């Protein structure tokens, strides 16, 4: 394997061993140019730069066709720019619409969340009011029951006192009557 002039072991870049003579210098150069034709990567630079540009004859005889071709290229370029701008505009519109939809959905979500929070607050307030009124009623009923129980005890005590007093009076009157009746029987 041959080495390059710089000493690296890569593929050789020197001219092939075709001995130059005044008749075969062009052959030597052409064989060097086509040496790695099928193995080296293809360059797109030339193709992209000259795509669509055929060979043009720049003589006055061909001027009309050249002008027409240049006009056609300008029109095509303007059409391409217009299509590109339209595509960009449509893309911007689509993105704006997506953002608008997202904002709308977010607003709707916030509205529903606020409505749910209001509903929960109203539910909590009504529950608190119900608990308060229930507590008030229970306390009132309990107070009423205590008052009624105290009144019942007082009434029972008063009834017992009255019945005892009546019995005492009745016994006292009976004893007085008995003594009076005995006094009448014993007589003067």
pLDDT tens string 170-181: 999 999 988 888
Contact 27, 16 (CB under 8 A): no
Highest mean pLDDT among 14-18, 24-28, 143-147, 184-188: 143-147
Of 46, 45, 70, nearest to 56 by C-alpha is: 70
Token couple for 123: 């539910």
Q: What does the pLDDT read at residue 100?
A: 96
Contact 66, 58 (CB under 8 A): yes
147 or 51, greater pLDDT: 147
Token couple for 21: 């003579």
3-state secondary structure 17-65: CCCCCCCCHHHHHHHHHCCCCCCCCCCCHHHHHCCCCCCCCCCHHHHHH
Average pLDDT over residues 131-141: 92
pLDDT tens per residue, range 36-52: 666 655 665 655 555 55
Handedness of CA 99, 105, 109, 115 (dihedral sign): positive
Q: What does the pLDDT read at residue 1?
A: 45
Please state, in angstroms and as integers, the Cα–Cα distance from residue 167 to each residue in 8, 173, 175, 178, following that order: 144, 10, 12, 16
Give the range among 28-42, 53-67, 132-146 with minimum mean pLDDT. Answer: 28-42
Contact 41, 29 (CB under 8 A): no
Q: What does the pLDDT read at residue 65?
A: 78
Mean pLDDT taken over the chain: 81
């Amino acid at each position: 394997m041959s080495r390059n002039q710089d000493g690296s072991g890569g593929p050789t870049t020197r001219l092939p061993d075709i001995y130059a003579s005044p008749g075969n210098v062009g052959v030597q150069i052409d064989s060097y140019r086509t040496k790695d034709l099928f193995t080296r990567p293809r360059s797109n630079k030339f193709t992209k730069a000259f795509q669509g540009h055929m060979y043009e004859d720049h003589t006055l005889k061909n001027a009309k066709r050249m002008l027409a071709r240049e006009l056609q290229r300008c029109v095509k370029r303007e059409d391409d720019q217009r299509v590109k701008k339209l595509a960009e505009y449509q893309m911007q519109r689509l993105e704006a619409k997506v953002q608008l939809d997202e904002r709308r959905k977010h607003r709707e979500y916030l509205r529903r969340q606020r409505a749910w929070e209001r509903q929960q607050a109203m539910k909590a307030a009504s529950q608190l009011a119900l608990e308060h009124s229930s507590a008030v009623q229970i306390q009132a009923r309990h107070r009423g029951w205590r008052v009624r129980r105290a009144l019942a005890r007082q009434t029972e005590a008063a009834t017992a006192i009255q019945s005892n007093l009546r019995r005492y009076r009745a016994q006292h009157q009976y004893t007085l009557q008995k003594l009076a009746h005995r006094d009448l029987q014993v007589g003067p």
